[in-house]
Copies of this chain bind each other. A is one copy, B any other.
Amino acid sequence: MFFHENELQYPVEVEEPNPAFARMLQQAIGGVEGEIRVFSQYLFQGMNQPPENHEMRMLLYETAMEELGHVEMLATAVAKNLEGAPVGLREEMSQDSAVNAAMHGYLPRQFLSAGMGAMPINSQGEPFTMDHVYASGNPAADMYANVTAEATGRTLATRLWEMTDDPGMKDMLSYLIARDTMHQNQWLAALQALGDPDDAFDHLPVPDSFPQEEENQEFNYEFMSTTREERENPEQPWTTGDSVDSEGEFSFGRQPGGGEPNLPSPDPRTYNQPTNEE
């Protein structure tokens, strides 16, 4: 069950509106690295937790609500950056370049479809799709997906921080970057809690509930080189030494080869014409 309060989670001020930056901020709302994605991802992971996973459920819901508040902050920032943006086309085109750039800086649909409001789209105008929500049911796989989301999210936020010199926007981004730091840490803490907390990678390989004797043990720690000509073991951390999960030893090999694929001949009722080869 969910509630709201008519207050932002953190102040959002824009000193000088910049329509082009409004467009860039959309990436943090509706982009694959953005806040709608993490909100939805943590919510769906949370809603699928059985009662015995109470703390995991709480962890996911707590942060889902925080992320929804980030969506609200960013939407506010978009609307404030669009304030006073030019609407007409022709006049600006014959005047000066700064106005031109501003005009073309925002996405057409921010005016045409939304009347200068935030939209659930990315910086190129593509709507967010829920296909990007990872909730596999396997908590270790999901925690890695969450770290990935926060790592790409923090990378995005630092790039946005580079793009602007508006003090209000820099302050808001500095807050969001800080929260991404926390979230990377918290999901990794949750990952460690899935196994022996003293062994950073005890939960591997994901899923660790599959009996490892059923996987083909000839190939599970061999790096498979596919360069055209065979090459020497480059002695990298992934070709030699103990495996990260401490369950095997890395080696360096080639693709085993499995013979020609022998597909069945097509059923004549598919009307796949024969190629008349001899």
Contacts and interface: CB of A to CB of B under 8 A. Distances in A.
Copies per assembly: 6
| Most chain B beta carbons < 10 A, residue from A7, A83, A221, A245 | A7
Interface in A92-144: 92-94, 96-98, 100-105, 107-109, 111-141, 144
Contacts of A6: 57-58, 61, 227, 260
A147 B63 CA distance: 22
A152 to B, nearest CB: 5
B204 A201 contact: no
Interface residues of A, number: 207
Interface in A37-56: 40, 43-44, 47-56
Contacts of A166: 90
A98 to B, nearest CB: 5
Interface in A9-67: 9-12, 18, 20-21, 23-24, 27, 30-33, 36, 40, 43-44, 47-59, 61-66
A221 to B, nearest CB: 6
Contacts of A94: 98
A132 to B, nearest CB: 7
A36 B68 CA distance: 14
A56 B274 CA distance: 10
A220 to B, nearest CB: 4
Given A144-B147, A221-B181, A4 B65 contact: yes
B132 A55 contact: no
16 contacts: A1-B255, A2-B3, A3-B3, A3-B228, A4-B62, A7-B258, A12-B261, A18-B93, A21-B90, A33-B112, A59-B238, A62-B224, A120-B130, A136-B272, A175-B216, A186-B223
Given A112-B156, A188-B201, 7 more contacts: A10-B258, A12-B258, A21-B90, A94-B98, A117-B137, A141-B155, A185-B243
Q: Which 5 A-B pairs have the closest CB atoms?
A: A115-B137, A124-B125, A48-B117, A8-B258, A65-B226
